[in-house]
Amino acid sequence: MKDYLISATAENGQVRAYVLQSTELVRKASEVHDLYPTSADALGRVLSVTALMGHTLKNVQDSLTIRVMGDGPLGAIIGVGNRDLEVRGYVQNPHVHMPVDEFGKFAFSNAVGMGNLFITKDLGLKEPYTGSVPLTSGEIASDISEYYMSSEQIPSACGLGVYIEKDGTVLGSGGFIVQLMPGADEVVAEHLEKNVLKMPALSKLFKEKKSPEYILSLLFAGFTYTIHEHKPVLFRCNCSKKKYGEIIATLNADEIEAMINEDRGAEAVCSFCNAHYQFSEEELIDILSQKKSR
Ligand SMILES: [Zn+2]
């Protein structure tokens, strides 16, 4: 089943929700980055929330970057996405495995550690906008709820869940963001809160192949609601050999000469998708002569 996101509103627009299934996305990320279970769980959560928030961007050229900068063994966890729900990202240490049964229920938050979560929106303006919150639970989802409240003044609840077998097989992943619109009824707010608190563990629901529509029906139980959009979600990087050639061209001439004369070539590796690009001596000579002719 392909990954997708649905968006919906309830009670005449007083509440909105985005629900995502991201199993294939996390499988793909896990495969390209050779992720161990805890690393896959962490990157899976960040990529899921990148897609959920990417959906709220206004224009196709806008982009969103989420950086979870904790001091735990995972290191930085980065997700980048756009309005077309093309998502890419990486975790600094792909080989973290802290099984919950050995390290207790805080294994995941210990793996993330203390630090900050940054959200940068590049809306094509002069300066991108960056908001941040301290990592309080290390679970990421509640940090996102906190971000919405403190940076955007939107009361929100976020849920994220990734189910991974001990051998690293990704069996299910997904999440939701639900938000109260300004002027929402107190009764509606209380009812929504009850629904969110009653929500079973998302990792289990996605492992059982429950659909985003089913999860929405739990979030919006007792509400009148409409689903507005149904969009596919993909792990996709925008890198290319041409782009890396342009990056090499920005280096000093003597650095490029060293690649030619000492290394006899160069290799560029994209940290977002782990693609490897080889540059031969001839290609580097070309880059260097074009640089000099400028
Ligand atoms: Zn790439």
- Using the mean position of ligand 1's atoms as its centre, give its distance from the Cα of residue 89 in Å: 9
- Using the mean position of ligand 1's atoms as its centre, give its distance from the Cα of residue 218 in Å: 37
- Using the mean position of ligand 1's atoms as its centre, give its distance from the Cα of residue 278 in Å: 14
- Is residue 178 within 8 A of residue 17, CB to CB? The reply is yes
For residue 40, with 0-12 CB atoms within 10 Å meaning exposed, 13-18 middle and 19 or more buried, which class applies? buried
- Using the mean position of ligand 1's atoms as its centre, give its distance from the Cα of residue 6 in Å: 27
- Using the mean position of ligand 1's atoms as its centre, give its distance from the Cα of residue 153 in Å: 34
- Using the mean position of ligand 1's atoms as its centre, give its distance from the Cα of residue 241 in Å: 10
- Using the mean position of ligand 1's atoms as its centre, give its distance from the Cα of residue 276 in Å: 9
- Using the mean position of ligand 1's atoms as its centre, give its distance from the Cα of residue 72 in Å: 25
- Using the mean position of ligand 1's atoms as its centre, give its distance from the Cα of residue 125 in Å: 25
CATH topology classification for 241-293: CBS domain Like (3.90.1280)
- Using the mean position of ligand 1's atoms as its centre, give its distance from the Cα of residue 274 in Å: 6
Pair type for strands 234-235 and 86-91: parallel
- Using the mean position of ligand 1's atoms as its centre, give its distance from the Cα of residue 280 in Å: 20
Residues of the chain with CATH 3.90.1280.10: 241-293
- Using the mean position of ligand 1's atoms as its centre, give its distance from the Cα of residue 227 in Å: 33
157: β partners: 178
- Using the mean position of ligand 1's atoms as its centre, give its distance from the Cα of residue 60 in Å: 19
Neighbours of ion ligand 1 (CB under 5 A): 237, 239, 270, 272-273, 275
Report the CATH number of the 4-235 domain.
3.55.30.10
Pair type for strands 4-10 and 15-21: antiparallel
- Using the mean position of ligand 1's atoms as its centre, give its distance from the Cα of residue 175 in Å: 24
- Using the mean position of ligand 1's atoms as its centre, give its distance from the Cα of residue 270 in Å: 5
- Using the mean position of ligand 1's atoms as its centre, give its distance from the Cα of residue 74 in Å: 20
- Using the mean position of ligand 1's atoms as its centre, give its distance from the Cα of residue 103 in Å: 34
> 202: part of which helix (H) or strand (E)?
helix 202-207
What percentage of the chain reaches a pLDDT higher than 90? Answer: 88
Distance CA 154, CA 145 (A): 9
Digit-by-digit pLDDT tens for the chain (294 residues) are 799 999 999 999 999 999 999 999 999 999 999 999 999 999 999 999 999 999 999 988 999 999 999 999 999 999 999 999 999 999 999 999 998 777 777 788 999 999 999 999 998 888 899 999 999 887 899 999 999 999 999 999 999 999 998 888 999 999 999 999 999 999 999 999 999 999 999 999 999 999 999 999 999 999 999 999 999 999 999 999 999 999 999 999 999 999 999 999 999 999 999 999 999 999 999 999 988 887
Residues of the chain with CATH 3.55.30.10: 4-235
Q: Where are any strands of DSSP class E within the chain?
A: 4-10, 15-21, 63-70, 76-82, 86-91, 115-122, 129-134, 156-164, 170-180, 225-232, 234-235, 266-269, 276-279
